[in-house]
Amino acid sequence: MTDSTALTRTFTGTASDGTALTAIYLAQPASRAAIGLIVAGDTLPHIVHWGRPLSDPATLLAAYDALKPQRVSGALDDTAWPTVLPTQAESWIGKPRVVLRRAGIELFPKFTVTGITTEGALEATLDATTGEQYTDVTGRSRTTRPVRVPGVVVTAHDDEQGIGIEWRLELTPGGLVRQKATVTNLSTNPAPLEVGNIELGFPLPESASEILTTTGHHLRERSPQRQPMTIGRFEKPQLAGRPDFDASLLLTAGVPGFGFEHGEAYSVHVGWSGNSVLSAERLPYTQGVIGGGELLFGGEVTLAPQGEGQSSYETPWLFGSFGDGLNEIAARFHDYVRSRHPRLFVAGRPVLLNTWEAVYFQHDFDTLAALADKAADSGVERFVVDDGWFGSRRDDTSGLGDWQISPDVWPEGPKSLQALADYVHGKGMQFGLWFEPEMVSPDSEVTRNHPDWILSPTAGRLPLQGRSQQVLDLTNPEAFDYIFECMDTLVGDLKIDYIKWDHNKLVTEACSRYSGRPAVHAQTLAVYDIFKKLKERHPGLEIESCSSGGGRVDLGILEYADRIWVSDCVDPVERADIQRYTSLLVPPAMMGEHVGASPAHSTQRATSQELRMAMAFFGHMGIEWNLLKEPEESLAELAVWVDEFKKHRDWFAIDTCVHADSNDPAVRLDGMVMPNRDAAIYRFTQLTTSQTYPAAPVHLPGLDPERTYRVSPLDPSLDLTGLTNGQSTLGWWNEEGVVMTGEALQRYGIRPPSLHPQQAVLFKAVAC
């Protein structure tokens, strides 16, 4: 297939048993991705192809006879062959994936397809109303207008039980598949329809027998773990009101040993910022199914009888990506996220300084103005004031929710917060401010005046506290309006360019005293609504999603957020893998990567300035460091690295992020490759000592094997003084470097400098 445009094709035919077949084929040839469905008779669709484009899409019709299982002894008359939403009516006896109840009684639906439409469209980006065109460093035009994509919409009913389903699937330009379902109460029965669970999925080929997920905790997010795909169910539920630190951004199944560079693999992600689950399941009768969906508490979502109120529930998008290795899988997610924020990727991200680890709660005008001076001298372009500027917030035990500037810390006049914002703007930097809008301190004016605004299981008992705070009920219109008006006013008055939006407490026992129901679902929608309204009111405002660091990282929040804070741990040794596995979902340009102090505040590990700066180089570079206490030589070195970052950041915004596989667990090789593969920058990190001494050659993924490249150190890494334990010179580590083919660099690689543990260097490969 040579057609470079998106394709949607429909074929009809008849199976060998006389069943009428409709096959739908969706393809994005430019991204080498396609998906094929079959509707057999009036049943829900089966996904029968997910992979590279087919040379003859009409052969999809044969997949029904080719894949439909035979009846076997001791089972039902139809052997389980999961559709996109399997039920017991189609012999699925695994964990229920469609849970609906009426008057507390479980329903067992059998859906009959009533319509198939082959069309789909990406929703407009957040700033679609402007109709602006943006041009990136390659000259490529990026638009805010909606983009038509191949898609299919299938409607189905269970008329006896009064349930309707609309299932939608779309294939994005980057080859990412997304599907969602809408459940509608079609009954006039006065008892509402309760939605317990809707879990969508993708079938796996038999060869995908190993699962990769991540686990973690505060200060150690995204730690990889693997296990075989066995018969049974593996799931990663998240019930903290957010994805949380232990969340697996992706659940990936692939051939045993799949890595970043090679190995057929398939990934799913739930684009939702509330409670959710990712799962892999296999019955003795089936191959594996991976998927997920929102997790709902009893009574959280109930659908009114037809014509009497809210009668439909829409699931979050379930995203699917496949590839030959995790690098290709991640590239599809990155392409999608960039499409949601076209303005962010036309140029590199501004270098940021955040005041948290510099001063914590010790705010005053003179200190922060002096810090702003140092920041500007170091090349910083955005200055963000963190927690401690409002109410009684002198520590983390009080004041949260009182979003009024504290006169004790920021008195009116020349040393006010307004004066600081003006001072920062006057130095040519953007001004940012920290908020935690979803939380309140029990010791706060808002709690004393509105105790009913707190999510709690009963009127007389609060949930277990976390960080001396509780969760504000944003599903209560009064609480929502209060928060929005406070933020809206401050953004306007101070001319705030950037909000660091934090979320520090696990959301537990989250019942609304306003509605009398569990409220995680509605709370999540309210958060999205505030993001959206603030951005509509203040064009150009950027908002970071921070949740005790990396506790809320998902494609739901990334529809609105412009950046995520990867982790509260800025120790570069810990960050090596935290950032690597976060980049499976998030483009580095939207990942907050900061240069911190040594020893690191979170681990007390001492590291070199070179390692700390190299580890922040590919992402949205920032500084989390009290520059007022650093010697001039450290500040001069920081300015050199910031200046070097600025030379490359426009490309980093759109580059392909790659990670190399290695048999040596002591090293990491990561890189950013230009879309046309004209050049790449790589980072080699020696985390600990290796069995090989000096370290073995590393291969460089992403290059064009047919071209030649000059490989040489990036300027700030040219001097290895203090970094290396090598006792002779490394032949190519000089300004001239060495010229090799992309094939040789990818297959046999190049010898990195022999570094001490906890050191990193950067080097470039430029096509000759």
CATH code assigned at 711:
2.60.40.1180
Please classify residue 52 by burial: count the beta carbons closer than 10 Å to its beta carbon, then call 0-12 exposed, 13-18 middle and 19+ buried. middle
Average pLDDT of the segment spanning 461-483: 98
Nearest to 220 by CA among 710, 639, 605: 605
Question: What are 46's strand-pairing partners?
Answer: 38
Question: Is residue 669 assigned to a domain?
Answer: yes
Give catalytic residues, as residue numbers. Answer: 502, 568
The pLDDT, as a whole number, for residue 212 is 98
The pLDDT, as a whole number, for residue 6 is 82
Question: Is residue 320 assigned to a domain?
Answer: yes
What is the phi/psi pair of residue 66, to 5°?
-70, -30
Question: Is residue 704 assigned to a domain?
Answer: yes
Please classify residue 524 by burial: count the beta carbons closer than 10 Å to its beta carbon, then call 0-12 exposed, 13-18 middle and 19+ buried. buried
Whether omega before 599 lies within 30 degrees of 0, making that bond cis, reads: yes
Q: Which of 292, 310, 340 is the last residue of a domain?
A: 340
Question: Is residue 640 assigned to a domain?
Answer: no
* Structure confidence by residue, pLDDT tens digits, 400-452: 999 999 999 999 999 999 999 999 999 999 999 999 999 999 999 999 999 99
Residue range(s) defining the domain that contains residue 689: 658-767
What CA–CA distance (Å, rounded) separates 37 from 11? Answer: 10
Neighbours of 644 (CB within 10 A): 19
Average pLDDT of the chain is: 96
Q: Which of 340, 371, 402 is the last residue of a domain?
A: 340
The pLDDT, as a whole number, for residue 3 is 42
Strand-strand pairing, 759-767 and 708-713: antiparallel
Encoded tokens for 723: 């970094």
The pLDDT, as a whole number, for residue 145 is 65
Query: Is the confidence at residue 121, as pLDDT, over 90?
Result: no
What CA–CA distance (Å, rounded) separates 245 from 77? Answer: 44
Query: Is the confidence at residue 126, as pLDDT, over 70?
Result: no
Cα Rg, the chain, nearest whole Å: 27
Question: Is residue 408 assigned to a domain?
Answer: no
The pLDDT, as a whole number, for residue 2 is 35
Reported in sequence order, the residue ranges of 522-578 that DSSP labels E, i.e. its strands, are 542-545, 563-565
* Structure confidence by residue, pLDDT tens digits, 323-361: 999 999 999 999 999 999 999 998 899 999 999 999 999
Whether omega before 203 lies within 30 degrees of 0, making that bond cis, reads: no
* Conformation bin of residue 391: beta by default, left when phi > 0, alpha when psi is -120 to 50: left
Q: Which of 340, 364, 396 is the last residue of a domain?
A: 340
Query: How would residue 1 be classed by pLDDT, with cut points 50, 70 and 90?
Result: very low
* Structure confidence by residue, pLDDT tens digits, 721-733: 999 999 999 999 9
Encoded tokens for 310: 């809210």
Nearest to 476 by CA among 456, 497, 500: 456
> Among residues of the chain, what percentage have pLDDT more than 70?
97
Cα 574 → chain centroid: 19
Which are the contacts of 323, defined by CB distance < 8 A and separation ≥ 6?
265, 329, 331, 332
The pLDDT, as a whole number, for residue 116 is 97
Each residue of 281-310: b (16+ CB within 10 Å) or e? Answer: bbbebbbbbbbbbbbbbebbbbbebbeeee
Helix boundaries (H) for 616-756: 632-652, 742-747
E strand or H helix that includes residue 217: strand 210-217
Query: Is the confidence at residue 131, as pLDDT, over 90?
Result: no
Report yes or no: 656 and 716 within 8 Å, Cβ to Cβ.
no
Single-letter amino acid code for the residue at 641: W
Q: What is the total count of domains within the chain?
A: 2
Alpha-carbon distances, residue 55 vs 32, 34, 65, 339 (angstroms): 12, 11, 19, 28
The pLDDT, as a whole number, for residue 280 is 98
Cα 672 → chain centroid: 19
Alpha-carbon distances, residue 238 vs 234, 276, 373 (angstroms): 13, 5, 43
* Structure confidence by residue, pLDDT tens digits, 623-640: 999 999 999 999 999 999
**One-character DSSP codes across 113-160:** EEEEE--EEPPPPTTGGG--EEE-TTS-EEESS--EE-EEEEEEEETT
* Structure confidence by residue, pLDDT tens digits, 579-638: 999 999 999 999 999 999 999 999 999 999 999 999 999 999 999 999 999 999 999 999
Q: The CATH number of the domain where 109 resides is what?
A: 2.70.98.60
Q: Which long-range contacts does 479-484 make (Cβ < 8 Å, 24+ apart)?
A: 479/450, 479/453, 480/526, 480/529, 480/530, 482/446, 483/403, 483/437, 483/530, 484/530, 484/533, 484/534
Query: Is the confidence at residue 123, as pLDDT, over 70?
Result: no
* Conformation bin of residue 78: beta by default, left when phi > 0, alpha when psi is -120 to 50: beta
Query: Is the confidence at residue 124, as pLDDT, over 90?
Result: no
Nearest to 253 by CA among 206, 292, 216, 199: 206
The pLDDT, as a whole number, for residue 583 is 98
Average pLDDT of the segment spanning 732-746: 98
Query: How would residue 688 be classed by pLDDT, with cut points 50, 70 and 90?
Result: very high
Average pLDDT of the segment spanning 282-300: 97
Q: Helix crossing, 417-426 with 477-494: angle to 10°?
A: 50
Question: Is residue 627 assigned to a domain?
Answer: no
